[in-house]
Amino acid sequence: METLLLLTYLSICWIIFKIFKIPVNKWSLTTVVLGGVIMLGTLLAGMAYFHPASKNARSYFITTQIVANVRGKVTSVPVKANEPLHKGDILFTIDPTPYEGKVKDIQAQLDFARKRLEQSRQLVKAAGGSKFDVDRYEKEVASLKGQLQSAMFDLESCTVR
């Protein structure tokens, strides 16, 4: 940077001496040298003072964020710093307690709905129930199967690989 500034200043001085036909003597050369030293010194001091700098080094690199599909408290992080990972290694685990409870709750609801469905089918065969109840319990069983599948996915997502 300093070299570019010096070469620019010298070329401007050379052009001025050639265009205005200023005689080259000890006073004109002294003026050029002192003017250059003062101007370049001022520029370099200003650049050194106002240039953004930090005593803390920062290194920027590409990172990959790892986010779990579920929310919760992280219970363990079995990875160690600066050790390579392989596909399938556990990165961290989230407390599965609320998700286990949800799976058990939905499983119990599903078992109850299946029993009700079976009872409704038996009542329809005995002409003591309506087809509407059977349809309602079939829909409830199908809905609970979907909820159970979603809850199982959430439970499995507590371990991030």
> Which pLDDT belongs to residue 133?
85
Element (H, E) at 156: helix 131-156
| Structure confidence by residue, pLDDT tens digits, 74-91 | 999 998 888 888 898 888
Terminal-residue alpha carbon distance, the chain: 50
- Are residues 155 and 114 in contact, defined by beta-carbon separation less than 8 angstroms? no
| Structure confidence by residue, pLDDT tens digits, 37-47 | 999 899 888 88
Q: Where are the alpha helices (DSSP H) in 83-130?
A: 97-125
> Which pLDDT belongs to residue 21?
87
| Structure confidence by residue, pLDDT tens digits, 50-74 | 877 777 777 777 777 888 888 999 9
| Structure confidence by residue, pLDDT tens digits, 107-158 | 999 999 999 999 999 988 888 778 888 899 999 999 999 999 999 999 999 9
Global confidence as pTM: 0.56
- Are residues 43 and 2 in contact, defined by beta-carbon separation less than 8 angstroms? no
Structure tokens at 9: 């200043």
> Band of the pLDDT at 103, cuts 50, 70, 90?
very high
> Band of the pLDDT at 101, cuts 50, 70, 90?
very high
